[in-house]
Amino acid sequence: MVTGTQISQKDDSEMRSYIGITDFTDVAQVTAMKGIFSQGGAQNSNRTLHVGVMMSYKTLYGYPTKWSAAFPKNGDIAAIFSETDVMNCLHYADFDDHDEHLADCLIKAIGYGGPGLNALQLDMRWPDPREIARALVATKRHALKVILQVGRQALVDVGNDSDELVERVSSYIGLAQYVLLDKSMGQGLPMNPAELAPYLRALRRAFPLLGLAVAGGLGPDTVELVRPLVEEFPDLSWDAQGRLRPSGSALDPIDWDLAAEYLIKGMALVPGIPSE
């Protein structure tokens, strides 16, 4: 088993913790949220703004899907990722088991991300690490940060057991720099901090250099759920999606006033950033 102490060292800009918003569709939205992030004092902490853009297997290849209207067109993604000093992250989702040619999919997806792309989140059940490695080599994007989402079904696959989770995650050490625990998976279901804490503790013990992240129903009215976790894990990262709309549906556009409020309240939870 590979241990966390064997993760290759990266500079601070590469391994900074993040506060995330997923479902950007225009660079003007990124610029606005980056401004709020900077004004809130986060630029003086070891934090970066996570700029999440969604893509799925079906939208990558132009197959019909209800998400086509909600996700940006493939050809527009590189422009969304044109802001610097943020974590420009493409969320690639595939829960239909196309693992046998995952590398080819990721190579194509990374190409649409353009030169500003600096992170890739894998929203799928335990993708083949060999395919991930092949894609990074083929695209010569070895510095690309990889976030491994561990969702509801992925946790079921390991029996919702912390030790089994550690064993499974060990296959990704050296490839993934962050593990994101997310039982909501964009559906706006509020996370349970007490339920996630044992998994985070087990991962931190086993892999001290691994970035830890959580998501699940976070928004301006629920980001406070992160507080007990960030008090125990000061470098914890988190991301928000569904609850940034009044409807709670990721099919609808983000309400950017809600997103700004979430960002301000989230920054107030970060150690070293004074709350208003």
Reported as a single tens digit per residue, the pLDDT across 151-182 is 999 999 999 999 999 999 999 999 999 999 99
* 3-class secondary structure, 211: strand
**Domain membership of residue 17 as a residue range:** 4-267
pLDDT band for position 68 (50/70/90)?
very high
CB atoms near residue 53 (< 10 Å): 24
Q: Confirm whether 74 is domain-assigned.
A: yes
Q: What is the pLDDT of residues 32-50, one digit of tens each?
A: 999 999 886 665 578 999 9
Into how many domains does the chain fold?
1
Task: Quote the DSSP letter at residue 86.
Answer: S
Q: Confirm whether 274 is domain-assigned.
A: no
- Rounded CA-CA distance 122/126 in Å is 9
Q: Confirm whether 276 is domain-assigned.
A: no
Q: Confirm whether 10 is domain-assigned.
A: yes
Region 230-239 average pLDDT? 96
In contact, 87 and 17? CB cutoff 8 Å: no
Does the pLDDT of residue 273 top 70, yes or no?
no
pLDDT band for position 183 (50/70/90)?
confident
Q: Confirm whether 272 is domain-assigned.
A: no
Output the pTM of the full model: 0.92
Does the pLDDT of residue 10 top 60, yes or no?
no
Q: Confirm whether 275 is domain-assigned.
A: no
- What pLDDT was estimated at residue 27? 98
Does the pLDDT of residue 271 top 80, yes or no?
no
Q: Confirm whether 151 is domain-assigned.
A: yes
Lookup result for tokens 């089994």: 164
Sign of CA dihedral 159, 165, 167, 172: positive
CATH classification at residue 239: 3.20.20.70
Region 9-38 average pLDDT? 85
